[in-house]
């Protein structure tokens, strides 16, 4: 069973080809191509939907060609075509879904509409070289640019939402704070880099709604905004660097901000794992590339008696391999979608 998946939910165009073993015991990744649009959106400090969808239209056919030649197969050898059908930007989702539907119709093969969040939450089970681990019950923390949520995963397609962000997602908070500091986009990796030499205890930033299962990061972002004029000298609105921060202050602020996010993510994840009586905690999504988050969450889990599993760093940010993995598992479980299935920018995972 060989699946081709297309991911175009946001600003990453991606195509992957994944082959399942005949006895369903695992898989082999034949190709995974990602075209990043970071450079096209960087100067705007965020994603411009119109630019994203135009670029998907340009990149997707090229990536299809590249993936097929990397996999050394033709599109006629593909057994099913999958695409991310939500959540995401409508104009971006439409491109990948339309191409996958067209291929499925043209080659007379099944089509699978895959939830992007399911792709993230299954990615810790993708495995290594001879990958494809059995999905086990777990509490899954999904932390990306668009989402921050805790989901109880009982098995494939059996998910229950525990908590979600009521305002900004963790990645969004990283991106917005990075923008205030005049750092590049996406902000997460930039803040992580600066935070390495910083003192996480220098600035006292809020850990919001710790008594709730939901998340809120906009108060933290606002706290940084109010702190900046007090520690950054004059505001320089007309330049790329809005605040004239000293290197040390900037590193300490990045470390303090990053730690505030990590503390909240850790506390709520451990509380959810306890409440749901699972043995395993998983983490996925772009923010889970953050080494400090991975280290601290892993240590907290082992202190509290939970096994910890994170997606491989290359699978954390948006890619099509995780979409192909979800599609392959669904196909093996006998699921298919109708080609009439619409994309849904607000698609829920549970
Ligand atoms: O999962 P993803 O690629 O896209 C969405 O589905 O949203 O996540 C992108 C987000 C961005 O907000 C980016 O700043 C954040 O992940 N991110 C990080 C790191 N690498 C990426 N945040 C913190 N630390 C990182 N190392
Ligand atoms: Zn994502």
Ligand 1 atom nearest residue 178's Cα: 14
Q: 86 CA distance to ligand 2 centroid (A)?
A: 10
283 alpha carbon, closest ligand? 1
Determine the pLDDT at residue 185. 81
- What CATH code is carried by the domain that includes residue 149? 3.30.420.40
Q: What is the DSSP letter of 342?
A: P
Say if 347 falls within a structural domain. Answer: no
Q: 142 CA distance to ligand 2 centroid (A)?
A: 9
Same domain assignment for residues 262 and 151 = yes
Which mutation among 49, 122, 188, 261 tests ligand 1's pocket best, with the greatest number of atoms within 8 A of CB?
Answer: 188
State the pLDDT confidence band at 347, using cuts at 50, 70 and 90: very high
288 alpha carbon, closest ligand? 1
pLDDT in tens, 115-140: 999 999 999 999 877 778 899 999 99
CA angle 228, 233, 238 (to 5 degrees): 85
Same domain assignment for residues 92 and 34 = yes
Q: 115 CA distance to ligand 2 centroid (A)?
A: 10
Say if 223 falls within a structural domain. Answer: yes
Determine the pLDDT at residue 44. 80
pLDDT in tens, 207-223: 989 999 999 999 999 99
Give mean pLDDT, residues 180-187: 86
Say if 116 falls within a structural domain. Answer: yes
Say if 341 falls within a structural domain. Answer: no
> Is the pLDDT higher at 268 or at 129?
268
Determine the pLDDT at residue 23. 82
Ligand 1 atom nearest residue 171's Cα: 12
**How large a percentage of the chain has pLDDT more than 70?**
96
Say if 86 falls within a structural domain. Answer: yes
Which mutation among 286, 316, 319 tests ligand 1's pocket best, with the greatest number of atoms within 8 A of CB?
Answer: 286
Same domain assignment for residues 289 and 322 = no
Same domain assignment for residues 302 and 328 = no
Same domain assignment for residues 147 and 196 = yes
Same domain assignment for residues 72 and 197 = no
pLDDT at 233 over 60: no
pLDDT at 84 over 60: yes
Same domain assignment for residues 81 and 205 = no
Give mean pLDDT, residues 135-159: 97
Ligand 1 atom nearest residue 289's Cα: 26
**Kind plus residue range of the DSSP H or E element containing 163:** strand 158-164
Q: 232 CA distance to ligand 2 centroid (A)?
A: 33
Say if 343 falls within a structural domain. Answer: no
11 alpha carbon, closest ligand? 1
Q: Which domain holds residue 238?
A: 138-310
Contact 36, 52 (CB under 8 A): no
State the pLDDT confidence band at 265, using cuts at 50, 70 and 90: very high
Determine the pLDDT at residue 240. 53
Give mean pLDDT, residues 96-115: 98
Q: Specify which of 37-51, 122-136, 271-285 reaches the highest per-range mean pLDDT.
A: 271-285
Ligand 1 atom nearest residue 258's Cα: 23
Same domain assignment for residues 73 and 199 = no
Q: Share the mean pLDDT of the chain.
A: 94
Say if 345 falls within a structural domain. Answer: no
Q: 218 CA distance to ligand 2 centroid (A)?
A: 20
**Whole-model pTM?**
0.95
Domain count, the chain: 2
Same domain assignment for residues 96 and 217 = no
Q: 150 CA distance to ligand 1 centroid (A)?
A: 16
Structure tokens of 310? 């994170």
Which mutation among 13, 171, 221 tests ligand 1's pocket best, with the greatest number of atoms within 8 A of CB?
Answer: 171
Count of other CB atoms within 10 angstroms of residue 157:
16
What's the CA dihedral at 290, 38, 117, 209 to 10 degrees?
50
Residue nearest to atom 8 of ligand 1 (CA): 286
Same domain assignment for residues 113 and 162 = no
Same domain assignment for residues 148 and 36 = no
Same domain assignment for residues 217 and 87 = no
Q: 152 CA distance to ligand 2 centroid (A)?
A: 18
Whole-angstrom distance, CA of residue 250 vs CA of residue 242: 12
Say if 348 falls within a structural domain. Answer: no
Whole-angstrom distance, CA of residue 124 vs CA of residue 136: 11
Determine the pLDDT at residue 235. 55
Contact 194, 250 (CB under 8 A): yes
Q: 35 CA distance to ligand 2 centroid (A)?
A: 14
Q: Ligand 1: list residues with CB < 6 Å.
A: 10, 144-146, 171, 174-175, 186-189, 192, 285-287, 289-290, 317-318
Residue 12 in 3-state DSSP?
strand
> Is the pLDDT higher at 70 or at 236?
70
């Amino acid at each position: 069973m060989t699946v081709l998946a297309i991911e175009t939910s946001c600003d990453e165009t991606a195509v992957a080809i994944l082959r399942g073993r005949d006895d369903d015991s695992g898989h082999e990744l034949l190709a995974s191509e990602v075209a990043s649009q970071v450079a096209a959106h960087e100067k705007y400090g965020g994603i411009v939907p119109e630019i994203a969808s135009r670029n998907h239209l340009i990149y997707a056919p090229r990536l299809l060609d590249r993936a097929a030649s990397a996999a050394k197969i033709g599109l006629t050898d593909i057994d099913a075509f999958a695409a991310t059908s939500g959540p995401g930007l409508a104009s971006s989702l439409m491109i990948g879904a339309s191409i996958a539907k067209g291929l499925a119709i043209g080659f007379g093969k099944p089509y699978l509409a895959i939830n992007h969040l399911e792709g993230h939450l299954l990615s810790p089970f993708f495995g290594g070289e001879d990958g494809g681990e059995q999905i086990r019950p777990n509490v899954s923390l999904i932390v990306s640019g668009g989402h921050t949520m805790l989901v109880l995963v009982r098995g494939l397609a059996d998910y229950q939402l525990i908590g979600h962000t009521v305002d900004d997602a963790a990645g969004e908070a990283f991106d917005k704070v990075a923008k205030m500091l005049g750092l590049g986009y996406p902000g997460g990796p930039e803040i992580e880099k600066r935070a390495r030499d910083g003192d996480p205890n220098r600035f006292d930033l809020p850990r919001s709604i710790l008594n709730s299962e939901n998340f809120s990061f906009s108060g933290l972002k606002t706290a940084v905004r109010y702190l900046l004029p007090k520690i950054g000298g004059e505001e320089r609105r007309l330049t790329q660097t809005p605040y004239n921060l000293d290197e040390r202050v900037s590193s300490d602020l990045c470390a303090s901000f990053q730690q505030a996010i990590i503390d909240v993510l850790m506390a709520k994840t451990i509380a959810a794992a306890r409440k749901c009586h699972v043995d395993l905690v998983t983490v996925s999504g772009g923010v889970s590339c953050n080494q400090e988050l991975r280290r601290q969450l892993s240590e907290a889990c082992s202190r509290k008696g939970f096994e910890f599993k994170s997606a491989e760093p290359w699978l954390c940010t948006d890619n099509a391999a995780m979409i192909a993995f979800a599609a392959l598992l669904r196909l093996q479980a006998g699921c298919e979608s109708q080609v009439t299935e619409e994309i849904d920018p607000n698609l829920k995972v549970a």
